[in-house]
Amino acid sequence: MEELLGGLTPLLASMVRNATPLVFAALGGMFSERSGVVNIGLEGLMLISAFAGVAGAFYSGSAWVGLLCALGAGLAFALIHALMSITFEADQIISGTAINLLALGGTGFLMELVFDQSGTSPRVQGFEPVAIPLLSEIPVVGPAFFDQSLLVYLMYAMVPLTYLLVFRTPFGLRLRGTGEAPEAVDTAGVSVTRMRYYGVALSGLLAALGGVYLSMGILSAFTEGMTNGRGFIALAALIFGRWNPIGAAGAALLFGLAQAFIFQAPQEVVPLEFLQMIPYVLTIVVLAGFGGRAVAPAAIGKPYRKE
């Protein structure tokens, strides 16, 4: 029993570390999609922010400046997506795909310019784990949940905060309305365009937190392509969680746990590649299971033009 519990702590700690970027990005995706804008660019938003964080910390020597740079980059790229898909009425899927490509090519380009090398950046000042007194001393779960980077604690706070914001405030009501029935929101005198910009901008900021956690909460360096599909898993978590913050966070934790198992499971039993398929297969199965019962916001993917 003692041995089992001893193995549980690193597993749970690994789950939290894996889930954190997914939770941030999924919450971000929720804001965008609740406003009616599909955001398959989460992957790119995370990647560019992960880079900007490291570049900022590299020049300033401060992790906090890095964090600000990451938020700025996430916001800037999200605004490109917003400008293209909301104002210029480009297809949202295409715009999101372009954001992903832009981030991948852009970070490769900037690696050469900023660090004069490709592959992996030099190490920078990141966010070290901070143990919370008392809470981190709880047996088994304490060290797993409460001896983490500050960004993880921010993630804990974000889940209920986004829930309250989306379901308990006038802003949330308008945001949801914009995704479900933009005409009605428009008629009520609220600008659909503005609400959608807010939604996409928030998705950029949250995805940035996810990205910067990868490069500065786990690694303290940037590696090209380091998001490695996490933006898409976050999208899966969002669908899994039915566009609800609590649900999305729960799904992200589940995927995080699956990834934690991947690193601990003996590979002779199940090959790594099959374990890595789990979140994707799970998403497909759930999507097929829920079937035609549309849970996505009704107006998602459609540009809105005031007549």
Partner 1 sequence: MSAGLRVVLGRATGALVFPLVAISLALVVGAVIVLTTGNNPLAAYRALIVGAVGSPAAIGRTLLNATPLIFTGLAVAVAFRTGLFNIGGEGQLYIGAITAAILGVSLGFLGPLAIPVVLLACFLTGFLWGAIPGLLKARFGAHEVITTIMLNFVAINLATYLALKPFRTEGLVPGTDFIDPAARLPTLGLGRANYGLLIALLAAVAVYLLLWRTTLGFRLRAVGLSPGAANYAGMSIGASTVLALAIGGAMAGLGGGVEVMGVYGKMSIPFVSNLGFNGIGVALLGRNHPAGVVLGALLFGGLASGAQELQFETDVPLDLADVLLAIILLLVTATRLVELIFGKRARELASGTRLDEGLAS
Q: Which two tokens stand for residue 179?
A: 């995704």
Q: In terms of DSSP bridges, do strands 129-131 and 147-149 run parallel, antiparallel, or are they unpaired?
A: antiparallel
Widest Cα–Cα separation across the chain: 68
Q: Which is nearer to partner 1, 168 or 302 (CB)?
A: 302
Task: Among 134, 170, 291, 306, indicate the residue that binds partner 1 (CB under 8 A).
Answer: 291
* Radius of gyration, alpha carbons of the chain: 19
Measure the CA–CA gap between 48 and 69, rounded to whole angstroms: 10
Q: Long-range contacts: 135-138, Cβ < 8 Å, 24+?
A: none
67 to 86: interface string for partner 1, x by CB under 8 A: -------------x---x--
Measured from the CB atom, the residue of 91 and 180 that comes closer to partner 1 is 91
User: Between residues 12 and 99, which has the closer beta carbon with respect to partner 1?
Assistant: 99
> What is the distance between the alpha carbons of residues 179 and 70, in angstroms, rounded to a whole number?
27
Q: Which of 18, 35, 100, 148 binds partner 1 (CB under 8 A)?
A: 100
Site for partner 1 contains 269 (CB under 8 A) = no
Question: What track of x and - describes contact with partner 1 for positions 227 through 266 (by CB under 8 A)?
Answer: --x--x--xx--x---------------------------
Check binding of 102 to partner 1 (CB under 8 A).
yes
Interface size with partner 1, residues (CB under 8 A): 51
CA distances from 86 to 35, 94, 184, 198, 201 (A): 11, 13, 18, 11, 12
Secondary-structure breakdown of the chain: helix, strand, coil percentages, each rounded to the nearest 5 = 75, 5, 25
Tokens at 271, concatenated: 């090959």
- State in angstroms the smallest separation of the CB of 292 from partner 1: 3
| Residue 157 binds partner 1 (CB under 8 A) | no
User: Residue 3: CB partners within 8 Å, gap ≥ 6?
Assistant: none
Closest by CA to 24, choosing from 51, 50, 58, is 50
| Of residues 141 and 275, the one with the C-beta less far from partner 1 | 275
Residues 204-233 that bind partner 1 (CB under 8 A): 229, 232
Residue closer to partner 1, measured from CB, 91 or 156: 91
Stretch that binds partner 1, among 26-34, 150-158, 164-172, 272-280 (CB under 8 A): 272-280
Question: Closest approach of Cβ 265 to partner 1, in Å?
Answer: 15
d(CA 304, CA 301): 9
Residue 6 interacting with partner 1 (CB under 8 A): no
- 134 exposed, middle or buried (CB, 10 Å; 0-12, 13-18, 19+)? exposed
Residue 101 binds partner 1 (CB under 8 A): yes
Contacts of 64 (CB under 8 A, 6+ apart): none
Question: Is 97 an interacting residue with respect to partner 1 (CB under 8 A)?
Answer: yes
| Cβ-based nearer residue to partner 1, 99 or 159 | 99
**Contact, 216 vs 69, CB < 8 A?**
no
Q: Is residue 65 near partner 1 by the rule CB under 8 A?
A: no
Where along the sequence are the contacts to partner 1 (CB under 8 A)?
38, 40, 80, 84, 87-95, 97-102, 104-106, 108-109, 111-113, 229, 232, 235-236, 239, 271, 273-274, 276-277, 280-281, 283-284, 287-289, 291-293, 296, 301-303
